[in-house]
Structure 1
Amino acid sequence: MMALFKKRTVGKPGEWYYCLEHRKVEEGPECPAKDRFGPYASRQEAQHAMETARERNLEWENDPKWHDAQATGGDDDRT
């Protein structure tokens, strides 16, 4: 009977994750942190995790703050 009251140590209900390995939404989470994105506030946000990641990657790739060396010609401007 004690097993029914076993404390969950991996996450909390109401926190949503997207598992990269199983390609599914989890509440909890169920899988290790290295295999998931999150937490998200809702199931819907977790369902769009891959889309959100793609959008953020594009934003970062086009953000001049991440490409200062390339934008200024790298180390060539030292005199």
Structure 2
Amino acid sequence: MELDLFIDTSHVMTFKAGDHRPDLMRAGYGNGNHGFAVDIAHLNLAMDQTVTVRIAGRDFILDGSGKKLGEYLKPS
């Protein structure tokens, strides 16, 4: 499955979601082979920028997506 990454309203990349995640399979999301990780460090984002992931070419936004970058970071 391909996904689109948006920062605020700008499309920045399309990438594959093909990592196996048993929790996705248990939750009923297909065969569990739709996990992903994306390195966005090179984008030099500000904590108040919105990160959104959609199914490529569609308007469907993934659950948990569409938040400010700072909301995804765990306190150290």
Q: Is this a same-fold pair by TM over 0.5?
A: no
Which structure has the highest helix share of the two?
1
Which structure has the highest strand share of the two?
2
TM range (shorter): under 0.3
The TM-score with structure 1 as length reference comes to 0.24
The TM-score with structure 2 as length reference comes to 0.25
